[in-house]
Amino acid sequence: MRADRLLRLLLLLQQHPKLSAAAVAERLEVSRRTVLRDMEALSTAGVPVYTERGRGGGCVLLPGYRADLSGLTAREAQALFAWTGQAALAELGLDGALRSALAKLSATMPEVTRAQSAALSDVVVVDRRPWFATAGGTDALPALRQAVLAGHRVRVRYASNTSGTGARTLDPWGLVDHSGRWYLVAAHRGTARLYRVSRVERVDVLDTPCQRPDGLDVRAEWERLRTGFEAKRGAVPGVTVTVRVDPDQLSWVRRICASRLGGGARPEQLPPLDGDDWPRLRLAFDIRKQALGMLLGFGTTVQVLEPAEFRDELARTAAEVAALY
């Protein structure tokens, strides 16, 4: 315990080169006499510390002295400090805790390493959201994090896109940050499922212990659930359409399509038709309704050429929308 206390004392003085013995004692939760003994022990070990008596005195570390107690290389320190750009920490409610930890760690680093690491975190920004996409709601995330770590069940109000909004009691197993969207891996009535955190409207952490399978691997469970979800989506018939696009809006249409098409698809440019100055694109949609919604949203900027049956479906849908409004 004393070695740990001596280390804490040294780190404290590296952050505050001069503190009163009473202030040090309060921060380390020891007596003033213990502080003076620890200062003597550090001095005997060769650390340039000393005590000043009288008004304005206290525990002093020689200016310019800094011990690199972290053991981090310059590249390791830069990687750690750059990681603070992750918005995930703020969403988890841990950004303040990490900043505090890094501030303590920085006190153990040489000045050059600390300056380079801080500079990197100032110039590297991490934003993994697709273009034109808004960040999902994460208000429920801190409570879910606490429940997962504590191993407690939760009662949530969840807005499902299939069964509507309702209450569920879940066994939370883990949290996944996937492309800027958070998912809760949890069991409902013994069946593992994925829940989008942005659809969790309320969380109540219960006193009941969470039921977790022996040897649960959350990463493996996520991969299993994700594979099943993708396979299910693949079973839904999509549609590939050919469109002609207003040349003045081509760049904008391409950006929108590239950000919204599923499965990593990108709009494929085709040669224009003879005598037509409007370029053509081939667009592959995983979900037919997504295609209807997006193409109707483009208005007269985009004209669907084929397939013919999809053109007819698009016309019917447009007529229904016009009749509604």
- Residues 61-75: tens digit of each pLDDT: 888 776 655 555 666
CATH number for 239-324 (one of 3.30.460.40, 3.30.70.120, 1.10.40.30, 3.40.190.10): it is 3.30.70.120
Q: CA 5 to CA 235: how far, in whole Å?
A: 62
What fold, for 2-61? Answer: Arc Repressor Mutant, subunit A (1.10.10)
Predicted pLDDT at 301: 93
Q: What one-character DSSP code corresponds to residue 217?
A: -
Q: CA 8 to CA 226: how far, in whole Å?
A: 45
Q: CA 95 to CA 101: how far, in whole Å?
A: 10
> In which residue ranges of the chain is pLDDT below 70?
1-4, 66-90, 94-136, 233-236, 261-265
- Is 141-233 in CATH node 2.30.30? yes
How far is CA 165 from each of CA 94, 159, 193, rounded to the nearest angstrom? 29, 4, 16
Predicted pLDDT at 85: 47
Q: Which helix (H) or strand (E) holds 283?
A: strand 280-285
Strand partners, 195: 184
Residues 206-227: tens digit of each pLDDT: 999 999 999 999 999 999 998 8
Q: Could you tell me the end-to-end alpha-carbon distance of the chain, in angstroms, rounded to an integer?
A: 74
Residue 99 neighbours by CB under 8 Å, 6+ apart: 84
What residue segments make up the domains of the chain, in order of their start?
Answer: 2-61, 74-123, 141-233, 239-324
pTM for the structure as a whole: 0.54
